[in-house]
Structure 1
Amino acid sequence: MNTLRFMTSGSVDNGKSTLIGRLLYDSNSILMDQLSVVKKRSLKNNNEDHKIDLSLFTDGLRAEIEQGITIDVAYKYFSTSKRKFIIADVPGHTQYTRNMVTGATHVDLSIILIDACYGVVEQTQRHSLILGMLNIPNIILAINKMDLVNYDQQIYQSIISKYEIIAKRVGLNNKIETIPISAKNGDNVVNKSKHMKWYTGPSLLYLLENIIINKEPYLEPSRYPVQYVIISKNEKKKNINRGYAGKIISGTYKKGDKVRIYPSKSKTYIQSIMDNGVHTIKEAVAPKSVVLYLEDEIDISRGDLIVKEKDIHPIFSQKLEVILCWMSNNSLNKRNRYLFQIHSLVVPVLIEKIIYRIDVNTLKMENDPLYAELNDLVRVKMKTSIPIPYDSYKKIKENGASILIDETNYSTVAACMIQ
């Protein structure tokens, strides 16, 4: 049984937390003690219709409960007979864009929620832009609160038509599934609605259970970043063995493969592969964690990248162009210096130029800005202190995602997508 990782996105009060609560509740994925607590909280909130407040299943932080909004990324897990699910409920407010980027990094699908009463708003554009930049492969557009517009088909179709224009502007070229729902009442969420007979498509849960996840990292060029160097003594041969532990982020590795090590560009062969540090295996594929032992004594450190010689190799350069989501209260300025981290490799980096900044509300592009501020999306040119091996985020996401770190306090200041 495979696992689908998905997120909900949309403007504040569009019903993201309520939708997740509905999925959990109607699929019988709520524990009895959780249900009891939520029922009590619902009564305390002076619930007029005496129904369960489904959003309380995900809005767990004290500030979220007090304000009635989602601030942090809340993760929930449930399963059906067909598939396991990991849900990221991400915040809708503009000031929590960084939280949304964090939640969206590793998902296979995003549900974009639009309030039928308001249609496409600025937040919808902003979230769609981020999803396009993050290269999310599957999108479901859910028009929520259809009960508040009397389940009107024309309103639904009008919103879909307007969103198609936005999708083209932000580069969402993948096929977008559309569905009218009422998360509060359960229309078309788990069960088909009796109020929208004009909608002949499947329920939301059916789409989630049956959507195809095109995720085959083992078919991509091989990339193995070294996380730890394991040193052990061989008493019989009286020598030292060095193993290189890490996770295969793409491709396939076999005993006897000729490999090249970056950044040294040294070449050698795989002598053996250990699974869980105990069993020797002949072959390992992404995304498996293993220990590689090599035939030759080569100076290899944490952060080095091992690539099969016959595969397409990564770009190896000090010059990068990167899309940043700026996450710091301190401004990004040209000529600023930071630490650049990709996997376990950390090197100093200089921001040479801010190429443009995108206004996430109007989608307009400001060329050559002087600075960037919290939650801004910008494209920059940067130069690392030494050449590093990397891939375009759109080609091999796992080897094109990175972060910037403040040199003074070691806090993360930006999420990076290498172009």
Structure 2
Amino acid sequence: MEAEAAPLFSNDAIIMGLLAALLGLVFWTSSLDSKLARGFYRVFPPLLLCYFLPSLLNLFNIVDPEASQTYFVASRYLLPAALVLLTMSADLPATFRLGPKALIMFFTGTVGVMIGGPLALLVASWLFPDVIGVTGPDAVWRGMTTLAGSWIGGGANQAAMYEFFSVGGEVYSAWIAVDIIVANIWLAILLLGVANAKRIDRALKADTGAVDALRRKADEFEQAHARIPDLKDLMVILAFGLGAMGLSHIIADIMGPWVATHAPGLADLGMASGFFWLMLSATIIGVSLSFTKARSLTGAGSMKVGSVFIYVLVATIGMRMDITAIFRNTEFFLIGSIWMAIHISLLLAVAWLIKAPTFFIAVGSTANIGGAASAPVVATAFHPSLAPVGVLLAIVGYIVGTWAAMLTGYMMMAMMGAGVSP
């Protein structure tokens, strides 16, 4: 077997420099006062380019994202800091007045994953009977349970399904690839949808009043407190963001092992995960700070600094997408695509019924499919003040993810036991 060629760059300092250069290139070109630039970025928003261009580094073997620690650094260090800065700048009472539609769309997304898995398995049993007929640890349905855990909750829930349903290593690896590619393609579509949100809202006859009012109020607050930040302001902003990130890690390092040892029931819900406690702690700290004078730092650019951290995370997520993996497990990717299509169709149907705006569709979906790493990204694409909605829903996903994925797994197991596969 021919060994894979080594990537052009393996030094993370170089990789981070490349990502920063790509981000700078996108924002510089998007600000150009030319008809070509305005027309291009009207169709392809900057956030989408910040996500897509880094994937080319992987596609052309310039970097190896699996060997790089840039995603780990961005998700464990910059993301918690960003959540604190964005949440402490938000008007939380106004956020909670958005109404029940955000939760309705979130749980619609959850149900879409739960029923989508068995339905996709049923369709696959007609299309690929030989593949679905595999039994034992590498049975397709077992691997699909790990995808359900990831798509409803996150990595901890996915790992729980791996252990609970005794999933074989080969099928598990294949479904991890499906998870990354299918979810990332959907994320790219959602980011593209942000640029066309008004058009989609008109088509759905959505009521955008509450979301528009929150965005308008956030902009008015920022303008009322706007000032040219000096060095002290920037250092205080970093102190809040990175200081709270450090405190969140302390809490996560204590609570994760404690839950695993003393509260196995909570551990079954994925709450022994250090990442869960990291996100929860950062959110609670940010919420607490939003009721203090720290919120006035939004006038000095705290939301902008938080957004910078989010964009770095976006670039590292995009770098992990390997579109060529589709051709290595074609049947699995088709099953995953059918599954995702069911999830999307249910979201759009319910959104049309309750007149939910595009924002609730996008965040309700990514709080399931993408979790705490992606939901704030999509929410921020609509407006930085909306980031708390994404992370709060993602935390709910962590809590319900294990049990919902287990139920999905039992449904698929029952289908196979009933002889659904020819």
Instruction: Give the TM-score of the pair, scaled to structure 2.
Output: 0.23
**Quick check: which one's strand share is greater?**
1
Q: Computing the radius of gyration over CA atoms, which structure comes out larger, 1 or 2? A: 1
**Quick check: which one's helix share is greater?**
2
| Bigger RCO (CA 8 Å, 6+ sep) | 2
